[in-house]
Structure formats: structure tokens, C-alpha cells
Amino acid sequence: MKTLLRFLLLTLFFVFTSKVPGQVSNLLVNGTSTHFTMASGNEISWSYNLSVGDTALLEIWLDVNSNTVIDQETDVLWQSFYQIDGGEGQNGPPDIDGETNGEISFAQPVGLAPSDYVMSFSNNDSTVAVSGTVTPIDSPVFTISGNITVPQGKSAQYLLVSLESYNEQGGSFWDAITDADGNFEVQMGGDTSGNPWRLKIDNVQSLSPAVQSPAEIFLTLDSSVAKTYSGNDFTFTESAAEINGTVRDENGSLLIGTDVYLSGNDGNFNRNVRTDNTGTFRIGFLSGELPASDIELGAGYSENNSIISASTHIQTVNSGDIFTRDLTIYQTNSTISGTVTLDGNLPNMNLEMMAVVSDTGYVRTFTDYNGNYTFNVSNKLYNYDISLGQSLQNYMGYSITAHPGETGVNFNFTMTDVEEGQSVVPNEFSLLQNFPNPFNPSTLISYKLKETGNVQLKVYNILGDEIATLVNELKPAGNYEITWQAVNLPSGIYFYRLQAGSFTDTKKMLLLK
């Protein structure tokens, strides 16, 4: 469930399976198969059986009419996710026993909003459901309130507002449900270990493609300072243009709860959403953001390269435009390998390499210090354009088209010829967009200096706190790049700022784990 350890927001799971699934049986929620009752902040648990190694789709609905069954016309879907027998909790809560044995169980304290709910567990064409009631927390310590303004004709009622621990390891959350006027009030215990807490809206898909501002609010709770935190307001503005579509796996199955990201305007525009329970996404643009150019739309990221991340390009989006772009995420099942040398020599560094299937997707990898690299790819896609994923100053770049199963796809990058009198010194200062973006866990930041001077390159989180100093020294004019590792940081938006003499520029990047 939601952060039920942040499963839905921060990680991805894609169901690639051709086996015939079984059915869910022996379902118990908080020890009952009929109707459970619990207070907000208490533990919720469930257990059930299904075929060994199989996957179930879980949906959690607000039972608006309190009739203990799901009525899609009136009830409101809060969360939907997959759970895997023996799985580690990718895009859904883990199977606690961690064994592939046909038995799935889970338990965790949760700050569910007081309301009636129905939980459904589906496998193949079989669905089993259990209803429940969550009562208010017995002794609240903190109250966090605000209002959500929505576009005309949209309902502000039954929006799910969540206060989540900013620390990914914590995984705790407290929820509230908006009333007809968009007002909400989160009541929670005295836990401050999640500081700074992240306040966000869970079921924003119901308002898409309206654009939300702010995307999230950060709060540091301290009972010695205050116990009531009010004025935490959000606004949704009608979009002036839209990109929509679906995300599917290679077998054509729709993927729910999948992060879809978009960037453009030379990296100055970034937005991400998630697919709804039909695998559909809608991303809006505000009038002030248009026209937008060089738009990259993508979905899916795999740190271990188990998938081909979907990606497509849109040249320009103007006011009134509505683009439909469907994305497909492929599972990797083959490899492409080779070596990289620099002027015939070992690189003695890790070089980033990219394999791109035009307007379909990409995967990346790194060489070892000897220049050896291996891509995990899908044999359902044929032409992979292989190239360096980073620029090497004064080296001539090129690409090779390779196919799944190929070995010996070798590169030798040579120094470019510089004509007499030709300068390699940039004629302007500039800070380039990081690549890749989104990224996990490393990304390359490049910048240009037209003259010698003191240079600072720093990274900040969304609160404005300095996270890292990447450069702080006197540098001569030239082209530079540096790799930033964000291994121990949570997913989210970060900013990097270059200051060189009187020149200052800041860009935004997205860490997506």
C-alpha cells in the first residue's frame, strides 16, 4: 500500500509472464475474510495463496457508499499494485517470507485515512475482496491541514493526501481524504523520524492532465514548536496542451503504477506522472511552458538493466496540441558486447555507453577500466545504435548499429584534428543538461568555461539544502564533465548550480529509483 514502503512511487515492476496463473485463495486481512476494523496508525496484515511464483493484482478502494463491495461508478480507487510470490516488493509490498512457495503475506503499521475500504486481490480472472473500516487515530499529536483547488468541472472530493517519510528506509505514512471543498486534515502520532516529511497527493490521475502546483510540500515537524501545521495548499491548473498514451509490456499487457517522465526545453522542463489502473497516462503543459521543444517522453528504469526503458521524441508541443504516444517496455533476454579504446589505449576509466532503438527505447551500461562492456538487450528489437553516453573532450564520437547476440562490437575513439589557429576554447559559458535524465544512481554533468576563473558546481535538494559540492577550484577555460553518484539519496527532484565568475546557471534533474 503506498509507501507500504514507497513501493508505488519509487520502484517499478513489470509483469512479463506467459504462464497460466491460478487463483487467489485463503485470503485473510487482519485475520478475517469478511470485514476488518483497525485504527489509523495500527498494523495491517494480509495473507493468501496462489500458484507458486505467481503474481496478484491488488487494488485498494475507498468504499464511498459503505456497502462493502466495489462500485466503480461511485467508489474511488486509491492504490493498485502487483505482489509477487517470494518477491522483494518491486511496485508492491514484498512477500514477507521471501520464499517462492505459493503463500504471500505482508504486515506493517500504516496511517490510513479514516474511512471504509475494500481491498481486492486478483489473479487471472479470479478476484477475492475483503472490506474494512479504519477509525481515527486514538491520540493524535500532529495535525497537518490544507486545501486543494481544482479546475472548474472537476471534483475536489475524495482526493488522497499523504504525508510520507522523506527517508526511504522508513517507509511510514499518514493519509487524509479531502471533503467536497477540497479541505483535508492529516492526523498522526508524534513520530518525527521522517523529517522532513513529504506531503503529496496520491490519486492525481483523476485530475490529469491538469498541472499540479506545488508537486509536493516538505514539512519538518517539532512538537515543541507547533502541533498544528495549516495552509498546506495545492492548486491544479487546466492544461493548455497534453501528451497521453499507455504503457505496456512486450506481450501487450497494460502496466499500472508505472512512472512516466518527460523533459524538454533543453532540460528546463521536467514532469513525471504514473499510469493509472488502466495503464494510461496524461501529462499536461501550462500555457507559459509553451511552445516546448525537443520533448523526450519515457517510461521505466531498471538499475540492473532487466528491461529496455521506453523512450520517444516529440519535436515541438504548441498550445492546443494533444499528442498520443504509446510506450512499450521490453524485458532483456540477450546481450551485445565489445570493447572501447582511446587512440588504441585502454581507457583506464568507466565510460558510459548507450544502446538506443530509435523512437522505442534505450539501455545503458559502463565499460570496465579495460574498456570491456556488455549491454543487456531484447531480441524482440533488432537495430541498436551503440555509442558513447558521454562526451569526451577532443575525441571524435561515432556510433555502430549492432544486433542482439553480437560480440566484438569494438570502438576506437581518436583525438580530433585541431587546425592551426583553431581554438578549442568555448566562446561562452554554459551548463548542459545532465545525462541521462532521469537517472539512477549516476549521471553526467557537463559545462563549458570561456575563461579561467574560480568555479563552483553544487547539487541541492528540493528544499534548497546543499547536497554535494562537485567542483570548487580555479579552472582554466575549456570543456568539462563530471559524474555525480546519488547512491544513498532518495528519489526526487534535485538542482545543480554552476557559478563561474559572474556567470550562474541552474538546472533540474530527476533521480528515479
Domain end residue (candidates: 237, 258, 291): 237
Based on the domain organization, do 325 and 339 belong to the same domain? Answer: no
Q: What's the burial of 420, exposed, middle or buried (CB within 10 Å: 0-12/13-18/19+)?
A: exposed
Does the structure show a pLDDT above 50 at 20? no
Spatial distance between the Cα atoms of 157 and 30, rounded to a whole number of angstroms = 28
Domain end residue (candidates: 135, 161, 182): 135
Q: Is residue 61 domain-resident?
A: yes
Q: Are the C-beta atoms of 376 and 342 separated by less than 8 Å? A: no
Based on the domain organization, do 321 and 346 belong to the same domain? Answer: no
Based on the domain organization, do 118 and 30 belong to the same domain? Answer: yes
Q: Is residue 460 domain-resident?
A: yes
pLDDT in tens, 430-479: 888 887 777 878 888 888 898 888 999 999 887 777 888 999 988 888 88
Question: What is this structure's pTM?
Answer: 0.78
Q: Is residue 420 domain-resident?
A: no
Q: Is residue 71 domain-resident?
A: yes
Based on the domain organization, do 436 and 507 belong to the same domain? Answer: yes
Write out the residue range of the structural domain in which residue 394 sits. Answer: 334-413
Spatial distance between the Cα atoms of 498 and 457, rounded to a whole number of angstroms = 5
Does the structure show a pLDDT above 90 at 364? no
Q: What's the burial of 128, exposed, middle or buried (CB within 10 Å: 0-12/13-18/19+)?
A: middle
Q: Which residue has the cell 584534428?
A: 417
Based on the domain organization, do 206 and 245 belong to the same domain? Answer: no
Q: Is residue 15 domain-resident?
A: yes
Does the structure show a pLDDT above 80 at 30? yes
pLDDT in tens, 50-76: 999 888 889 999 999 999 999 989 999
Spatial distance between the Cα atoms of 145 and 88, rounded to a whole number of angstroms = 34
Based on the domain organization, do 222 and 114 belong to the same domain? Answer: no
Based on the domain organization, do 214 and 200 belong to the same domain? Answer: yes
pLDDT in tens, 375-408: 999 999 999 999 988 777 677 889 999 999 999 9
Distances (CA, A) of 262 to 49, 298, 419, 476: 39, 6, 40, 35
Based on the domain organization, do 129 and 20 belong to the same domain? Answer: yes
Higher-pLDDT residue of 485 and 416 is 485
Based on the domain organization, do 16 and 127 belong to the same domain? Answer: yes
Based on the domain organization, do 305 and 376 belong to the same domain? Answer: no
Q: Which three cell numbers stand for residue 502?
A: 559572474
Q: Is residue 419 domain-resident?
A: no
Q: Is residue 425 domain-resident?
A: no
CB neighbourhood size of 327 (10 A)? 24
Domain end residue (candidates: 413, 440, 461): 413
Based on the domain organization, do 367 and 254 belong to the same domain? Answer: no
Domain count, the chain: 5
Based on the domain organization, do 183 and 282 belong to the same domain? Answer: no
Spatial distance between the Cα atoms of 105 and 45, rounded to a whole number of angstroms = 7
Query: β-strand 307-317 against 269-274: which pairing, if any?
Result: unpaired
For residue 366, give the CATH number of its domain.
2.60.40.1120
Q: Is residue 423 domain-resident?
A: no
